[in-house]
């Protein structure tokens, strides 16, 4: 029986700076407050789950659901005591996105400010990455 030998070397690098990784999703204070308010009445749920669905004129739309557990392939974002889980299918499309909560006289909604989107359709429900 022959065995091959692979040689490796480990070196310490002293002048290298670690670069912080970008959060998959950041929440505005308004979004954090609204999520806390929504979850206050649902003690059995631990957070919100963000996903993407095929929808709209020709793209994808975000979906939000209450969740009781973290899925095996979900990415967890914890910010200011709020937990948001991102489904595997949505992780790349949400990278670097800011989640906000906006209220005005006629509507209230979560808004995703995504720097990766190249365009949206007229219905407001889909995006193109």
CB neighbours of residue 84 within 10 Å? 25
**pLDDT per position as a tens digit, 32-77:** 999 999 999 999 999 999 998 876 665 677 889 999 999 999 999 9
Distance, in Å, from the CA atom of 120 to the CA atom of 129, rounded to the nearest integer, reads 9
Element (H, E) at 108: strand 108-113
Is the whole-model pTM more than 0.75? no
């Amino acid at each position: 029986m022959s065995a091959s030998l692979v040689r490796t070397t480990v070196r310490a690098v002293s002048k290298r700076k670690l670069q912080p990784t970008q959060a998959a999703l950041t929440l505005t204070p308004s979004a954090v407050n609204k999520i806390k308010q929504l979850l206050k009445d649902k003690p059995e749920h631990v957070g919100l789950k963000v996903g993407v669905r095929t929808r709209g004129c020709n793209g994808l739309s975000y979906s939000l659901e209450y969740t009781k557990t973290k899925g095996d392939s979900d990415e967890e974002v914890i910010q200011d005591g709020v937990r948001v889980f991102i489904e595997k299918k949505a992780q790349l499309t949400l990278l670097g996105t800011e989640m906000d909560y906006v209220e005005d006289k006629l509507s209230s909604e979560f808004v995703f400010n995504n720097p990766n989107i190249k365009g949206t359709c007229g219905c407001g429900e889909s995006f193109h990455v």
